[in-house]
Structure 1
Amino acid sequence: MSNISSNSLFHFTPKREYLISILQQTFVPRYCYEEIKLGDELERAGFESAIPMVCFCDISLSQMANHIKMYGGYGLGMTKEWGIRKKLNPIIYVNPNSNISESVSQMAENIYQALDKHCSEITKNISDEYMNLSNFLKPYDGDFKRGNKIHKNVRFYNEREWRYVPKIEFDSEIKSNLTKKEFSNPTILENENNKLFEYRLRFKPSDIKYIFVESEKEIHPMMEELRNIKSRFSRKEIDVLTSKIITTEQIKEDF
Structure 2
Amino acid sequence: MVASVRKIFFRWICGSYFKIERFNTVIILQTYKIIIMGLSSNILWHQTKKKGLEDILKSRTFKFSYSQEKVPVADYEIAFPMISFCDLPFSEFANYMGKYGGYSIGLSHNWGKKNHFNPVWYCYANSIVESNLFSILRNANPVQEQYVLKLAEIIAYVKPVEGELNVKGHKYSNYRFMDEREVRLVPPFQYLKNENFQYMLSKKEYIEYKKQHNEMSLLPIGIKFEWNDIKYIVVQNEANIVEFKNLLHKLGCTNENISIFYQQQIKEDFIGIEHDQEQNRNFVPVDIENIIV
TM superposition score category, shorter chain reference: 0.7 to 0.9
In 2, Cα distance between the equivalents of 1:37 and 1:249? 36
Deviation at 1:102, TM superposition (A): 2.6
Letter in 1 for 2:266: I
Given the alignment of the two structures, is residue 165 of structure 1 paired with residue 198 of structure 2, yes or no? no
In 1, Cα distance between the equivalents of 2:211 and 2:126? 37
After TM superposition, the structure 1 stretch with the greater mean CA deviation from structure 2, 132-141 or 66-75, is: 66-75
Deviation at 1:136, TM superposition (A): 0.3
Given the alignment of the two structures, is residue 142 of structure 1 paired with residue 163 of structure 2, yes or no? yes
Deviation at 1:46, TM superposition (A): 4.8
> Given the alignment, which residue of 207, 211, 220 partners 1:184?
207
Q: TM-score, normalised by structure 1?
A: 0.83
5+ unaligned residues in a row in structure 2: which ranges? 1-35, 272-293
- What are the within-5 Å matches in structure 2 for residues 1-255 of structure 1? 1-13=36-48, 15-25=49-59, 26-38=61-73, 45-111=74-140, 114-115=141-142, 119=143, 123-146=144-167, 148-169=169-190, 171-172=193-194, 173-185=196-208, 186-188=210-212, 193=217, 196-197=219-220, 199-230=221-252, 233=253, 237=254, 240=256, 243-253=258-268, 254-255=270-271
Letter in 1 for 2:86: C
Q: Aligned pair in 2 of structure 1 residues 168, 108: CA closer, same or farther (>3 Å)?
A: closer
Q: Aligned pair in 2 of structure 1 residues 191, 141: CA closer, same or farther (>3 Å)?
A: closer
After TM superposition, the structure 1 stretch with the greater mean CA deviation from structure 2, 101-110 or 201-210, is: 101-110
For residue 59 of structure 1, give the secondary structure of its aligned residue in structure 2.
coil
5+ unaligned residues in a row in structure 1: which ranges? 39-44
1:54/1:163 contact within 8 Å kept: yes
Identity %: 30
In 2, Cα distance between the equivalents of 1:244 and 1:148? 30
Q: Aligned pair in 2 of structure 1 residues 177, 110: CA closer, same or farther (>3 Å)?
A: same
RMSD over equivalenced CA pairs, Å: 2.0
Deviation at 1:148, TM superposition (A): 4.4
Which structure has the larger Rg? 2
In 2, Cα distance between the equivalents of 1:69 and 1:247? 11
4+ aligned runs moved over 4 Å, structure 1 = 189-194
Q: More strand by proportion, 1 or 2?
A: 2
Q: How many residues align structurally?
A: 231
In 2, Cα distance between the equivalents of 1:187 and 1:12? 23
In 2, Cα distance between the equivalents of 1:209 and 1:171? 35
For residue 221 of structure 1, give the secondary structure of its aligned residue in structure 2.
helix
In 1, Cα distance between the equivalents of 2:213 and 2:79? 10
